[in-house]
């Protein structure tokens, strides 16, 4: 399958991390999502009901991030992927990337993050 729903730089403020300051207040995160599912019928019929609504994916991702309060980005990325797969049985796989945009490190780095792919 070559069809992919591509969602880039979803910004969410959420609590994630192991340091005390990360547990006290939300920090900015950015998500990149690649959702692999056929949308040929949707394209043929111009019908939203024949594909996965990307607005639902974005809302779900933000909810999991905010409500999860995870220690690890690895856990957050995996949970988001699991929820996206559960959203629609037509989704064959999902790649979730999540980055901390203001990581609590002394080095000058733009972001730190993880990426995982989950397959049905």
Q: Where are the domains of the chain?
A: 4-119
CA neighbor of 82 nearest in space, from 38, 116, 32, 39: 116
Percent with pLDDT over 70 in the chain: 99
Structure tokens, 11: 């910004």
Spatial contact of 85 and 66, defined as CB atoms under 8 Å apart: no
pLDDT digits (tens, 9 = 90+) for 7-42: 999 999 999 999 999 999 999 999 999 999 999 999
The CATH number of the structural domain formed by 4-119 is: 3.30.1130.10
Flag whether the pTM goes above 0.85: yes
């Amino acid at each position: 399958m070559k069809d992919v729903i591509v969602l880039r730089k979803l910004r969410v403020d959420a609590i994630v991390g192991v340091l005390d300051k990360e547990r006290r207040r939300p920090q900015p995160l950015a998500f990149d999502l690649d959702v692999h599912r056929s949308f040929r019928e949707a394209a043929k019929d111009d019908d939203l009901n024949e594909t996965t609504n990307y607005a639902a994916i974005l809302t779900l991702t933000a909810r999991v991030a905010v409500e999860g309060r995870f220690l690890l980005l690895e856990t957050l990325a995996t949970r988001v992927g699991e929820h996206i797969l559960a959203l629609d049985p037509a989704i064959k796989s999902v790649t979730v990337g999540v980055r901390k945009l203001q990581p609590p490190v002394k080095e000058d780095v733009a972001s730190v993050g993880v990426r995982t792919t989950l397959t049905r």
